[in-house]
Amino acid sequence: MQVQTLILGAGAAGLFCAGRTGSDTLIVDHASAAGEKIRISGGGRCNFTNLHTSAANFLSENRHFAKSALSRYTPQDFLALLATHRIPWHEKTLGQLFCDGSAKDIIGMLLAEMAQAGAALWLDTSIDEIGHDGTGFQVRLTRAGRSTQVNARHLVVATGGKSIPKMGATGIGYRIAEQFGLAVTETRPALVPLTFDPDRFRALAGVSLPVRVRCGKQQFDEAMLFTHRGLSGPAILQISSYWHEGQAISVDLTPQTDLLAGLQRQRRQDAKKAIKTVLAQYIPARLADVIGPNLPGQGAIGDQSDAVLALVCDLLRKWEMQPLGTEGYRTAEVTLGGVATSGLDSGSMQARRVPGLYFIGECVDVTGWLGGYNFQWAWASAAAAAAAIRGSR
């Protein structure tokens, strides 16, 4: 079988690319349904982009690499596409955009775009072998128990990373890159909960509050959630991409409050109240109950000096802790690292030394923050590859 373009992976990047590469395109995936990670994203409503997207919202060995693709396919471009398909959406916080209805609306739109372009989709199809004769690619596939060789002028790798293996993630894209001589940067789970001693936060499981979390020079102001295993919530997921084993993180439990001024005011107004009781006005009561006994200045707040209150505030605003690790790829939303950008052209996503070979989406060493950025990278990198493929015809 001969096609112009063969796309490996029917996730966000692959489906989007298939809708833009022309009628002589085949997209394949080993899963039984297309766009499964889209379906479960954003609580089932798909946080499909972020209005504030820029290269500054991504981690990569080359922090400038994403600029080209992101500047040529923007969140506004994707919103225009949604308007064409009459898909309603809304903004939550921090520029995060979600479907009003279901994430399935995004999958349906991508499949409709692909069908309109005349591309074909093969599901339940495994990749057995990939060859290259200098002018094209020969890919051996197995579908419905039968082996088929597909010859293609262009091969687009959109197989994602290692995150959420129960959805079928395998990391095959990295092996394909290495087969063709491309470097792969170290990969690890990102946007993932952090783990601690099992007993440390057991009594606080389910408690959530807005915090400022820091690791190194990076910080995020979002919600943090205590779990049976450790810490989660948007703030922790964000900082996990910057955390390395052995590092400590610092949490400010009252980032929007002048806590010292508040405690001094309470000392004047409610001198007989225990500090633990007063703290429950600024942080969740269950959290105050757990950490209160370990703070200096036990007893009534009216008996505490400014120095003691300042020390209490310092401990609450700079609560340092060292995670044991992360929950791993099982719950990680994305994979950090991947196909090294040094081997790819930023304008086309094409391998510099292998004409016709493209890598897009999560398998590339471009990893976004939580909040729609990784989907925008999927759309933008796919659009860049598709434009290059169309231009080569």
**Pick from 139-143, 174-178, 267-271: least confident:** 267-271
pLDDT of res. 337: 98
**Pick from 153-162, 217-226, 299-308, 328-337: least confident:** 299-308
> What domains are there in the chain, each with its CATH number?
2-189+333-391 (3.50.50.60), 190-248 (2.40.30.10), 259-320 (1.10.8.260)
Half-sphere exposure of 358 (CA within 13 A, CB side): 32
Q: Evaluate if residue 297 carries a pLDDT over 80.
A: no
Q: Is the dihedral of CA 334, 340, 346, 350 positive or negative?
A: negative
pLDDT of res. 1: 93
The 3 state secondary structure assigned to the chain is CEEEEEEECCCHHHHHHHCCCCCCEEEECCCCCCCHHHHHHHHHCCEEEECCCCHHHEECCCCCCCHHHHHHCCHHHHHHHHHHCCCCEEECCCCEEEECCCCHHHHHHHHHHHHHHCCEEECCEEEEEEEECCCCEEEEEEECCEEEEEEEEEEEECCCCCCCHHHCCCCHHHHHHHHCCCCECCCEEECCCEECCCCCCHHHCCCEEEEEEEECCEEEEEEEEECCCEEECHHHHHHHCCCCCCCCEEEECCCCCCHHHHHHHHHHHCCCCEHHHHHCCCCCHHHHHHHHHHCCCCCEHHHCCHHHHHHHHHHHHCEEECCCEECCCCCCCEEECCECHHHECCCCCEECCCCCEEECHHHECCEECCCCHHHHHHHHHHHHHHHHHHHCC
pLDDT of res. 350: 98
pLDDT of res. 375: 98
Q: What's the pLDDT band for 134 if we cut at 50, 70, 90?
A: confident
pLDDT of res. 332: 97
pLDDT of res. 205: 96
Q: What's the pLDDT band for 197 if we cut at 50, 70, 90?
A: very high
* Separation of alpha carbons 94 and 369, rounded Å: 12
Half-sphere exposure of 37 (CA within 13 A, CB side): 30
pLDDT of res. 359: 98
Tokens of 112: 């409709």
What tens digit of pLDDT does each residue of 306-356 get? 999 999 999 999 999 999 999 999 999 999 999 999 999 999 999 999 999
What tens digit of pLDDT does each residue of 48-75 get? 999 999 999 999 999 999 999 999 999 9
Q: Tell me the mean pLDDT in the region 183-198.
A: 97
What average pLDDT is seen over the chain?
A: 96
DSSP assignments along 78-123, one per residue: HHHHHHHTT--EEE-STTEEEESS-THHHHHHHHHHHHHHT-EEE-
pLDDT of res. 376: 98
Q: What's the pLDDT band for 242 if we cut at 50, 70, 90?
A: very high
pLDDT of res. 163: 93
* Separation of alpha carbons 90 and 99, rounded Å: 6
pLDDT of res. 129: 97
pLDDT of res. 295: 86
What tens digit of pLDDT does each residue of 20-55 get? 998 999 999 999 999 999 999 999 999 999 999 999
pLDDT of res. 292: 84
Q: What is the pTM of this model?
A: 0.95
pLDDT of res. 166: 86
What tens digit of pLDDT does each residue of 158-190 get? 999 999 988 888 899 999 999 999 999 999 999
